[in-house]
Structure 1
Amino acid sequence: MSAPDVPADCPVYDIDLYGDEVLQDPYLHYRVLRERGAVVWLPRNRLYVLSRFDDVRTALRNTAVFSSAHGVAANDAVNEMSRGTTLASDAPLHDRLRAIVAAPMLPRALADIKPQIEAEANRLVDDLLVRGQFDAVTDLAQHLPLTIVSKLVGLEDYGRGSMLRWAAATFDVLGTMNQRGCAGMAHVLEMRAYLDEGTIRDRLRPGSWGRRIFEAADRGEVEPQRCPVLMRDYLGPSLDTTIFATASLMLLFGRHQDQWDLVRGDPGLIPNAINEVLRLESPVRGFTRFVTADVAVGGVTIPAASRVLLLYASANRDERKWQDADRFDVRRRANDHLGFGNGPHMCAGLHLARLEMAALLQALVRKVRRFEIGEPVFALNNVLRGLASLPMRVLS
C-alpha cells in the first residue's frame, strides 16, 4: 500500500495493529494512540489512524473527504476487488444499493418477525436452564442468527452452513494481508463463486431476503449483475457482529453481577445495556477510508490519497467523551456510541441486532438469577473483536 510523505509533526506508533498480541488485548494500545495525538501514523501498517471519538465521528460523516468508494480495507487487493459494493461506495450509488439491502431490516419490516425471534429466544433460554452448563458463544450467542436470520436470507443448507466461516473471512480480508487475511481470501472467493452461480436465484427460498434482491432487479431498481454482490451484505454483517456483542454481554454480566442485578430489577435498562456493550466491546474495530483531499485533523494535515483507519473501538473508550470510559455501566446513556458506525454507512442491520439481543435479554431477565463464567477465549480476527468460547453456568 503506497502512502504520501508523512508530515513531520505527525506522531508515530510503531506497532502492528493487526498482529496477534494487539488483537488479544488491544485497549492499552488504543489508549496510547489517543494520547499520542488526534492523528497517528502506523508505519508497520502504512496507515494513519484516528482514535478519538469526535474525530472518528466527524470523519464518518464527511464522506466527501473520507471516501468509501476506493474501498474500506487496509490492503489494496481487497479495496480494488470490492469497489462498487454497498460497503465500498459513496452516494448516490451507496444510497441506492443500501435501500435495497436494508429494506427487510427496517423496524416496520422486522415487526413481522419479532414474535418469532422472541419465541425462539424463550425456547433457547428454557433449554439452557435445563442444561445448566453451556458455551455462551456456540450455544447461546450464535443461536438466533443461525436458526432464524440465516433462514430469512433464504440460502439452502450448504449456504447457511458456510455463513459463519464466510463471515469471519470477509472481515479478516478487510484488514492487512497477513496470514489471516491471506487465508480468509480463499473463503471469500469460495463465497463469491457460490453466489455468482447462475442458478443461485432459483435456489433461494421464495419470499426470502435474497430473493427480494433479484426481484428488485426485475423492477429495474438495481442492475442484475449486482444481485450476487448485494447478497454478500447478508452473509457477514448479519452474523458475527451480533454474535460477538451478545457473547460480550454474557462475559460482562458474568464479571459484573451487580450490573445484572440492576437489569433484572429494571428491564427498562435493557436498551442501555445493549448500547453499553456495543460501546465497551465494539464488535467492529474499525474500517479505513481514502482521503480525497488534504485534510487537517487536530493540527496535523493528512495528505490527499492517504489511507486512514477510523478506529471505532478506541473512539468508544475515549476519555474525552465518556466518564470512567473503561467501566461497564448499564445506567450509562451511550446511545451515541460508534459501535454501529455513523453517518451514511451506519450499519444497516442495527435494528435487527438490537431486536435479537433484546429478545435474549428479556428472556434471561425473567428466568436467570446469576451467570457463572469460565475462562474466555477470544477469537483472532483482523477487524472483529469478540469471543470464540466462554464456558457458562446459569442459575435460576
Structure 2
Amino acid sequence: MNETSHIAVTTPTSDADPFAPENLEHPEPLHQALRAAGPVVHLTRYDVHALARYEEVHAALVDWQTFQSAAGVGLANFRHEKPWRPPSLLLEADPPHHDAPRRVLRELLAPPALRRLRQSWQTTADELVDTVLTGDGTRFDAFEELAKAFPLRVFPDAVGLGTDGRDNLLPYGNMAFNAFGPRNELVEADAPRTAELSTWVGGQCTREALGEQGFGAAIWAAADRGDLTPEQAPLVVRSLLTAGVDTTVHGLAATLYAFATHPGEWQRLRERLELARVAFDEAVRWQSPVQTFFRTATTDVSVAGTVIPEGSKILMFLGAANRDPARWNNPDRFDLTRDSSGHVGFGMGIHQCVGQHVARLEAEALLTALARRIEHIELAGEPRRHLNNTLRSWAALPVRVRPTR
C-alpha cells in the first residue's frame, strides 16, 4: 500500500450489509463475494471501504501510521463522535499513547511469565473434564460446560477478580464488541444493561477490588513504579476483562466444533498432545472469533489502485482474509498439518492481541484434558450461534462423546 498514485481503477461496490443477521450467522458467502469482487470494495450502505483479501488486510493491520486505530476500531469515527466509554488504550490508541500500556501487558503476559499458571490450569481443566464426564456425561453442551466454563473459572482468578458477578463478564464483552458495529438491533438489545454492566466492570478495575497476586495487581504496581499513570491502570485492567474472556470462550468453542466435525483431526491430536496449541490457532484461523475491525485513513491512500480518502473508515474482514485461497490451500478445511502462522485472527502488527499467549495456554490445558479422556467427539444436534456485530459467537454446541475405557 502506498500513498495516492495517479493510477485510478473502478472500485467495485456492494450494497450488502455485513451486520445483517444472515451474514453474521453465515458470513462465508459474503466473504467469498467480497474477495471475488476485488481487493477493495466500497460498501455503499455504510460508505466504507472493505478489505477481504489476505494481502490487503495484513498490510493494513501492520501499517498503523496510515490505518489509524485511535479514531476507533468500530464504525463510529472518534474524530467526530464521542465514544460510549473511555477508549481502550490498546485497541483504540496509537503510539505514543499505546506504547506504555502495551509494554506493561506484553511483559506481564509473556510466555515465561505464564509458566507459573500452567500446572494449576491443567489441574483445573482435568477436574472440569472429570466433572462433565461424571455419570452419564456422554452428551452435553460443550459451549456451556467447557468452552465457557473453563475461561470463566481460570482467567478471572488470574486477573485477581472476586467470585461475585463473574456472570457479567460475557454480557459486558458482548456489548463492547457489538458497539463496534452500527447501531442496529443487537446494540439496542444491549442498551438496558449498558450502565449497569459498565459500572460493574469499572468497579472491578480499581486497586481495592483486585487480589494481591493477580495480573490486575501487577498492573497497579506498574503504575506505582511510574510505568503507567494512575489514570491508565484501570483502563488497562478493563482491556484484560473485555478482550480476555469472550474471544477465548468463542475460540475454544470453535476448536471443539472443529474436532466434532473433523474426527480424523481429533485422533491426530490424541496421538500427539503437543498439537493442542496448533489446533487452537488453526481453529482461530478457520472460524475467526473476531470477524471484523475498522481502521481510519490518516491520509489519502491508494490500495490496489483505489484511492481511499483521508478520514474514511476501512472495514477489514479478518475472517475472510483467514480463508483467502490465495494465501491458504484448501482454506475451508480444519487441518492440523497446516502451518497457520500468519493468520490474522489475533490481528497483526502493534495492535496484535497481547493476550494471545494466555488464550493458547487455556486451550492447551483444556484440549489436553479432553484428549486424555475422550476417544471420540461428534455433534449431537444443531449448534446455535449467538449473533454479535464483531464476534463469531456461540450459544450452544451439543456434542456426544465416547470416553476412554
State the TM bucket, normalised to the shorter chain.
over 0.9
In structure 1, distance between residues paired with 2:232 and 2:108 = 18
Q: How far apart are 1:262 and its partner, in Å?
A: 1.9
Paired residue for 1:288, among 294, 303, 311? 294
Q: Does 1:393 align with 2:393?
A: no
Matched with 1:369 is 375
Q: Does 1:354 align with 2:355?
A: no
Name the CA shift for 1:356/1:290 in 2 (closer, same or farther; >3 Å): same
In structure 2, distance between residues paired with 1:223 and 1:259 = 47
Contact kept in structure 2, 1:155 and 1:204, CA below 8 Å: yes
The amino acid of 1:87's aligned partner reads L
Alignment of 1:218-233 (within 5 A): 218-233=224-239
Contact kept in structure 1, 2:101 and 2:232, CA below 8 Å: no
Name the CA shift for 1:95/1:187 in 2 (closer, same or farther; >3 Å): farther
Contact kept in structure 2, 1:48 and 1:308, CA below 8 Å: yes
Q: How far apart are 1:159 and its partner, in Å?
A: 4.1
Alignment of 1:321-360 (within 5 A): 321-360=327-366
Contact kept in structure 1, 2:205 and 2:234, CA below 8 Å: no
In structure 2, distance between residues paired with 1:52 and 1:78 = 31
Contact kept in structure 2, 1:195 and 1:231, CA below 8 Å: no
Q: Does 1:265 align with 2:271?
A: yes
Q: How far apart are 1:167 and its partner, in Å?
A: 1.1
Q: How far apart are 1:362 and its partner, in Å?
A: 1.3
When structure 1 is superposed on structure 2, of 252-261 and 153-162 the one drifting more is 153-162
The amino acid of 1:29's aligned partner reads L
Paired residue for 1:384, among 371, 391, 395? 391
Paired residue for 1:116, among 113, 120, 123? 120
Equivalent pairs counted in the alignment come to: 390
The amino acid of 1:338's aligned partner reads V
Q: How far apart are 1:293 and its partner, in Å?
A: 0.8
The secondary structure found in structure 2 opposite 1:387 is strand
The secondary structure found in structure 1 opposite 2:243 is coil
When structure 1 is superposed on structure 2, of 223-232 and 39-48 the one drifting more is 223-232
The amino acid of 1:144's aligned partner reads F
Name the CA shift for 1:255/1:389 in 2 (closer, same or farther; >3 Å): same
1:191-239 alpha-carbon deviations (Å, 9 max, x no partner): 4333545993222212222222222222222221222222211222111
Paired residue for 1:127, among 119, 127, 131? 131
Q: How far apart are 1:122 and its partner, in Å?
A: 1.2
In structure 2, distance between residues paired with 1:390 and 1:163 = 20
Name the CA shift for 1:198/1:122 in 2 (closer, same or farther; >3 Å): closer
Matched with 1:243 is 249
Paired residue for 1:96, among 96, 100, 119? 100
In structure 2, distance between residues paired with 1:286 and 1:328 = 20
* TM-score with structure 1 setting the length: 0.93
Matched with 1:3 is none
1:295-350 alpha-carbon deviations (Å, 9 max, x no partner): 11112111111100111110000011011111111111111111111000000110
In structure 2, distance between residues paired with 1:97 and 1:244 = 25
The amino acid of 2:89's aligned partner reads T
Name the CA shift for 1:78/1:329 in 2 (closer, same or farther; >3 Å): farther
Matched with 1:279 is 285
The secondary structure found in structure 1 opposite 2:218 is helix
Q: Does 1:151 align with 2:157?
A: yes
Contact kept in structure 2, 1:173 and 1:185, CA below 8 Å: no
State the percentage of identical aligned residues: 35
In structure 2, distance between residues paired with 1:327 and 1:336 = 17
Contact kept in structure 1, 2:9 and 2:306, CA below 8 Å: no
1:40-93 alpha-carbon deviations (Å, 9 max, x no partner): 111112221111111111111101100111111112446574446221111121
* TM-score with structure 2 setting the length: 0.91
Matched with 1:19 is 20
The secondary structure found in structure 1 opposite 2:362 is helix
The secondary structure found in structure 2 opposite 1:169 is helix
Paired residue for 2:111, among 96, 107, 113? 107
Q: How far apart are 1:144 and its partner, in Å?
A: 2.0
In structure 2, distance between residues paired with 1:84 and 1:324 = 36
Matched with 1:4 is none
Name the CA shift for 1:262/1:113 in 2 (closer, same or farther; >3 Å): same
Paired residue for 2:217, among 190, 211, 218? 211
Alignment of 1:65-80 (within 5 A): 65-76=66-77, 77=81, 79=83
Contact kept in structure 2, 1:132 and 1:394, CA below 8 Å: yes
The secondary structure found in structure 1 opposite 2:182 is coil
When structure 1 is superposed on structure 2, of 233-242 and 154-163 the one drifting more is 154-163
Name the CA shift for 1:80/1:291 in 2 (closer, same or farther; >3 Å): farther
In structure 2, distance between residues paired with 1:55 and 1:335 = 17
The amino acid of 1:261's aligned partner reads Q
Q: How far apart are 1:269 and its partner, in Å?
A: 2.9
Matched with 1:316 is 322
Q: How far apart are 1:251 and its partner, in Å?
A: 1.3
Matched with 2:58 is 57
1:119-149 alpha-carbon deviations (Å, 9 max, x no partner): 1111122222222221111101012211111
In structure 1, distance between residues paired with 2:84 and 2:148 = 32
Contact kept in structure 2, 1:273 and 1:331, CA below 8 Å: no
Matched with 1:46 is 47
Matched with 2:5 is none
1:82-105 alpha-carbon deviations (Å, 9 max, x no partner): 446221111121121112234432
Structure 1 gaps, min length 5: 1-6
